[in-house]
Structure 1
């Protein structure tokens, strides 16, 4: 995404959105999840009891399936490249190789392998599966990334890579602001796992003595740190051994970076280490995506975790198979649909926490909160009820206009966003009187 959207211009907007919108959004999801102790559908059903808000929980499940459908294809590519690093199969002609293997029966086969591994982790449960594997994978990612970043910084094009990645380009940002804004917002929500219900699900397992503001801030900071560290590996290599970030998207990784290893001594080993890092990161994401619908089936339908996981494996194999065989569908899912769904989801989370939960959200926020975060609770509530949803709706309508090919002025987008926000706030406030007894009881 950074390679596609001007390097430092994209990075700056991404950083700002993560810190100013992402952290408050994480808090909204945490509050909903811990208050309900349920999956997204169960959370809104138990706390609100209205069809409108229950539909928001259902949207989370749909979003997770959409995410899994295309991201499991990407996971299959990564797994294949990790295995092929041992033989250097992609060294001779990286561009041709990727074009050959990216879609079709073989891509589907690797996708199934990735889904099977993810399903095994999920089926093992929260402690023995998700927690045990991420405790190994996350430190491994950090250690390997640091080593790769040190090595990449010693390559001949490192300076140019750092300039593209970190040198601020105000002209590019000004000329392409709206297109970069939508991409940065979508990427921020994707990397923080908010908007799809992942953090609602995970927060349902959090104890009351945990500080939600501290956890949200820590997640954002570590997320940014690992993301920036990855860029310190990728861009020096692209400028040293490829033609720079001439093509973003999958090509930056599977053509530009893969081609770099072909020209390096020990390239097979370096390629294996690099794609191992990416593979571990992919699995942590896939696990969080699959946990959403699994928790729904376990909590709401009393299915065994293994049964629920098996059924969803079959479903995602079907929906993901369409992505594995059809590049147009993959592009629609990965580049447009996911961003729109994530923005809608987070907008709903914020409005729900601010206007439906209201005082209950404040109470949940304050449990375990420290002296620094406690005074921020009131500004947080009203910011997630007004300013941040307005911003998210603006990016949503901007992306929709671009998707359908409409040329709409910024003023019209602002007005449309504010009108939509007003309608949603009215809907939220109308449910308060109906849900107040349920909100209070849910704290017991």
Structure 2
């Protein structure tokens, strides 16, 4: 069957940004920033995005566009006669299913809060409300609802489903967050939150440099959708006339900018209306959004309308990422086993329905999957993709990088390939070793 492609360059960029802009930006990023010292974490995170994230993004683009395949098929096609590289790509497909298993649970929480915002049913009791709805059979039911929305978009295909949905959702996410940020920073007491977020203090880095590095690296990979094969899959639908360096830079800047913008909503609200970060630390990873910020809406004029806009933006962001996670294994079944998109989506949706329900019923398993396991798998996956790009593709990777690129972008190809071959795999493997050491 004929393979689909993006209708336009803008469609590809918005879809890729949509994949990256998700819960990593507006759920995990504020919590990680609060946990690791505010501005110090922001600086380290931005450095890793620039020095590791962007080159890694380009490596996945090179693999995807050159192969026109999903991660497993891409590595197998580009390294014929070597089965082991196909298994590295298949690891990315499995990682996508693991990610979606916990992600759809959080998506279910967002769906529930979005609906509850119309009535304000969690106002005044955000902590107790979240504790009641976060795990159990009701959480599993909302996970199913969020997963059904995701599957419906993926079922529509690359053009009619993913591209159309992300073209509509991405502008809405930016507009809603920008309006909320403009309002939040004007609230009395918001200045203290902005100071925590933006005034650089190196003390947290000096106190815990290894922990800071591990956390920032994990956040950068998670928020850019790296290590799982999303960008390989999306770039496989791309034409040869695109400059990968330009597209990758635009995607990284937009994604990081939206994450930073979310901080301008969360931290001013927490300090202005909740007195600081107490609600974040009390609520753990979920606290910044579902307890801290949600609890603040009761205190503001038109609180229900603000809450609807806030959780609406997060719901769009979550969907834009979840569709990319499901598209990876769907593309694998379509490309490698000639399964129809309808049957692939239905079968994989049923699988994640079960694995996600297990996470929704077991808080301990959810915490392990959402934190430790995901960070390990993403780091290992991206390290494998970088080694493949630098040492297996080699000069072919450089040729693909240069295809469609202008003079300035072409001049970056050789230093990019050098970093992909040497510095970046070493950094990621060292980070992986530290994560394993911490786990054991």
Correspondences of 1:403-442 after superposition (within 5 Å): 403-404=439-440
Name which of 371, 383, 386 aligns with 1:347: 383
Per-residue CA deviation, residues 219-274 of structure 1 (Å, 9 max, x unaligned), is 11001111111100010001111142231511110000000001112111110100
Contact 1:8 1:167 in 2 (8 A): yes
User: Would you say 1:192 and 2:224 are equivalent positions?
Assistant: yes
| TM-score of the two chains, using structure 1 as the length reference | 0.90
1:11 maps to: 42
Q: CA deviation at 1:92?
A: 2.4
Aligned to 1:291, the other structure's residue is in SS state helix
Answer yes or no: is the 8 Å Cα contact 1:161–1:236 preserved in 2. yes
1:88 to 96, 108, 120: 120
Q: 2:393 aligns with which of 340, 344, 357?
A: 357
Among 112, 121, 139, the residue aligned to 1:107: 139
* Correspondence 1:31 to 2:67: no
Deviation, structure 1 residue 369: 0.8
In the alignment, is the contact (CA less than 8 A) between 1:351 and 1:389 conserved in 2?
Answer: yes
Partner residue of 1:337?
A: 373
Gaps in structure 1 of 5+ consecutive residues: 405-444
Unaligned 5+ runs, structure 2: 1-31
Task: Look up the match of 1:303.
Answer: 339
What is the correspondence of 1:23-422 to structure 2 with a 5 Å cutoff? 23-49=54-80, 50-246=82-278, 247=281, 248-404=284-440
SS of the counterpart of 1:103?
A: coil
* Matched residue SS, 2:296: helix
CA distance in 1, matches of 2:37, 2:362: 28
1:70 CA displacement? 0.5
| Cross-structure match for 1:411 | none
Whether the 8 Å contact between 1:36 and 1:47 is mirrored in structure 2 is yes
Runs of 4+ with >2 A deviation: none
User: Aligned residue for 2:3?
Assistant: none
Residue 52 of structure 2 is aligned with which of 21, 24, 49?
21
Work out the CA distance in 1 between the residues paired with 2:189 and 2:84: 53
RMSD: 0.9
- Native 8 Å contact 1:14 1:185 kept in 2: yes
For 2:429 and 2:389, the matched residues in 1 are separated by 17
CA separation in 2, counterparts of 1:85 and 1:285?
A: 22
2:61, 2:104 → 1: CA distance?
26
Residue 427 of structure 1 is matched in structure 2 by: none
Q: Give the TM-score taking structure 2 as reference length.
A: 0.91
Q: Which moved more, 1:46-55 or 1:240-249?
A: 240-249
State the alpha-carbon separation in 2 of the partners of residues 384 and 191 from structure 1: 20
Deviation track 1:282-308 (CA, whole Å, cap 9, x = no partner) reads 000101111000000111111110110
Report the structure number with the largest CA radius of gyration.
Answer: 1
State the distance in 2 between where 1:73 and 1:168 align: 35
